[in-house]
Homo-oligomer: A and B are copies of this chain.
Amino acid sequence: MTARTPEERHDGHRGGDGYGVPDGHGHRPGGAGPPDGPHADGPGPLIGRSVPRKEDPRLLTGRGRFVDDLTEPGVLHAQFVRSTVAHGEVTALDLDAVRRVPGVVAAFDATDLGLGDITARLHRPPEEFTETAMPVLARRRVRYIGEPLAVVVARDPYAAEDGLEAARVAYDEREPVVSEAAALADGAPLVHEAAARNTLVDVAPFATEGIDDVFAAAHRVVRVEARTGRQNALPLETRGALAHWDDRAEQLVLRTCTQVPHQVRTVAAGCLGLDERAVRVVVPDMGGGFGLKCVVGREEIATAAAALRLRRPVKWIEDRKDALTASFLAREQHYDVRAAFAADGRILGLDADIVCDMGAYSCYPFTAGIEPLMAAAELPGVYRVPAYRVRGRAVTTNKAPSAPYRGVSRPQYVMVMERLFERAARELGVDAVELRRRNLITDFPYTGINGITYDPGSYRESLDLCERTLREEGWYERRDAAAAAGRRLGIGYACFNERTGYGSAAFAQRRMDMVPGYDLAEVRMDPGGAVSVTTGTMSHGQSHETTLAQIAADVLGLDLAKVKLHQGDTDRVPYGWGTFASRSVTIGGSAVRLAAERLGEKLRRLAAARWDVPWEETELHRGTVRRRDVRDTEVPAVPYAELAALAHFRAHLLPKDLEPGLTATASFDVFHDGTFSNATHGVVAALDEDTGGITLLRYVCVEDCGVAINPQVVEGQCRGGIAQGIAGALFEQITYDERGEPSATGFLDYKVPTAQEIPDITLFHLETPCASNATGAKGVGEGGTIGAPAAVLNAVNDALRATGTELDTLPVTPEAVHRALHGA
Q: Mark A497-513, 1 if CB is under 8 A from B, else 0.
A: 00000011100100001
- Asked whether, in the complex, the Cβ of A669 is within 8 Å of the Cβ of B652, the reply is yes
- Asked whether, in the complex, the Cβ of A648 is within 8 Å of the Cβ of B530, the reply is no
Measured CA separation A284–B248 after assembly (Å): 8
Cβ distance A564 to chain B, nearest Cβ, rounded Å: 5
Cβ 8 A contact of A531, one of B277, B532, B648: B277
> Any chain B CB within 8 A of the CB of A636?
no
Main secondary structure of the interface of A (DSSP, over half): loop
CB contacts (< 8 Å) of A211 on chain B: these are: none
Measured CA separation A250–B55 after assembly (Å): 10
Cβ 8 A contact of A526, one of B277, B285, B524, B530: B277
CB contacts (< 8 Å) of A520 on chain B: these are: 659-661
Cβ 8 A contact of A665, one of B247, B505, B531, B659: B659
Cβ 8 A contact of A530, one of B278, B503, B527: B278
Cβ distance A772 to chain B, nearest Cβ, rounded Å: 15
Q: Mark A269-300, 1 if CB is under 8 A from B, else 0.
A: 10000011110000011000000000000000
CB contacts (< 8 Å) of A667 on chain B: these are: 651, 659-661
Cβ 8 A contact of A518, one of B58, B249, B572, B652: B652
> Any chain B CB within 8 A of the CB of A517?
yes
CB contacts (< 8 Å) of A323 on chain B: these are: none
- Asked whether, in the complex, the Cβ of A517 is within 8 Å of the Cβ of B574, the reply is no
Cβ distance A666 to chain B, nearest Cβ, rounded Å: 8
Residues of chain A in range 235-261 having any CB-CB distance to chain B below 8 Å: 247-250
- Asked whether, in the complex, the Cβ of A65 is within 8 Å of the Cβ of B247, the reply is yes
Measured CA separation A532–B575 after assembly (Å): 13
- Asked whether, in the complex, the Cβ of A515 is within 8 Å of the Cβ of B663, the reply is no
CB contacts (< 8 Å) of A669 on chain B: these are: 651-652, 660
Cβ 8 A contact of A285, one of B248, B285, B518, B528: B248
CB contacts (< 8 Å) of A503 on chain B: these are: 652
With most chain B CB atoms within 10 A of its CB, the pick from A562, A649, A662 is A649
CB contacts (< 8 Å) of A284 on chain B: these are: 248
- Asked whether, in the complex, the Cβ of A64 is within 8 Å of the Cβ of B248, the reply is yes
Measured CA separation A663–B669 after assembly (Å): 18
Measured CA separation A754–B327 after assembly (Å): 60
> Any chain B CB within 8 A of the CB of A671?
yes
Cβ 8 A contact of A528, one of B269, B514, B517: B269
Copies of the protein in its oligomer: 2
Measured CA separation A285–B63 after assembly (Å): 29
**A73-B71, A517-B652, A659-B665 known; A58 vs B574 contact (CB < 8 Å):** no
CB contacts (< 8 Å) of A460 on chain B: these are: none
CB contacts (< 8 Å) of A84 on chain B: these are: none
Cβ 8 A contact of A564, one of B269, B278, B530: B278
> Any chain B CB within 8 A of the CB of A566?
yes
Cβ distance A601 to chain B, nearest Cβ, rounded Å: 16
- Asked whether, in the complex, the Cβ of B276 is within 8 Å of the Cβ of A515, the reply is no
> Any chain B CB within 8 A of the CB of A94?
no
Measured CA separation A169–B701 after assembly (Å): 69
Number of interface residues of A (CB under 8 A): 57
Cβ distance A51 to chain B, nearest Cβ, rounded Å: 16
> Any chain B CB within 8 A of the CB of A208?
no
**A73-B71, A574-B660 known; A530 vs B276 contact (CB < 8 Å):** yes
> Any chain B CB within 8 A of the CB of A738?
no
Measured CA separation A202–B414 after assembly (Å): 82
Cβ distance A520 to chain B, nearest Cβ, rounded Å: 6
Measured CA separation A666–B660 after assembly (Å): 9
Cβ 8 A contact of A275, one of B275, B505, B526: B526
**A269-B528, A528-B269, A530-B278 known; A515 vs B649 contact (CB < 8 Å):** yes
CB contacts (< 8 Å) of A514 on chain B: these are: 649-650
CB contacts (< 8 Å) of A665 on chain B: these are: 659
> Any chain B CB within 8 A of the CB of A439?
no
- Asked whether, in the complex, the Cβ of A566 is within 8 Å of the Cβ of B249, the reply is yes
Cβ distance A253 to chain B, nearest Cβ, rounded Å: 12
CB contacts (< 8 Å) of A65 on chain B: these are: 247-248
> Any chain B CB within 8 A of the CB of A571?
yes
Measured CA separation A65–B245 after assembly (Å): 12
**A247-B64, A249-B566, A277-B564 known; A651 vs B524 contact (CB < 8 Å):** no
Which B residue sits closest to A285, measured CB to CB? Answer: B248
> Any chain B CB within 8 A of the CB of A266?
yes
- Asked whether, in the complex, the Cβ of A575 is within 8 Å of the Cβ of B527, the reply is yes
Residues of chain A in range 62-97 having any CB-CB distance to chain B below 8 Å: 63-65, 71, 73
CB contacts (< 8 Å) of A276 on chain B: these are: 526-528, 530
Complex A-B: 26 CB contacts under 8 Å: A58-B247, A58-B248, A63-B247, A64-B247, A65-B247, A249-B564, A250-B564, A266-B527, A275-B530, A276-B526, A276-B530, A277-B530, A277-B531, A277-B564, A278-B530, A278-B564, A508-B650, A515-B649, A515-B651, A517-B652, A518-B652, A527-B575, A566-B571, A574-B660, A659-B665, A660-B667
Starting from the known contacts A275-B530, A277-B524, A571-B572, 15 additional A-B residue pairs (CB-CB under 8 Å) come to A65-B248, A248-B284, A249-B566, A250-B564, A276-B527, A276-B530, A277-B530, A504-B652, A508-B652, A566-B571, A574-B648, A574-B663, A652-B669, A659-B665, A661-B667
4 closest cross-chain pairs (CB), A and B:
A574-B661, A504-B652, A275-B530, A276-B526
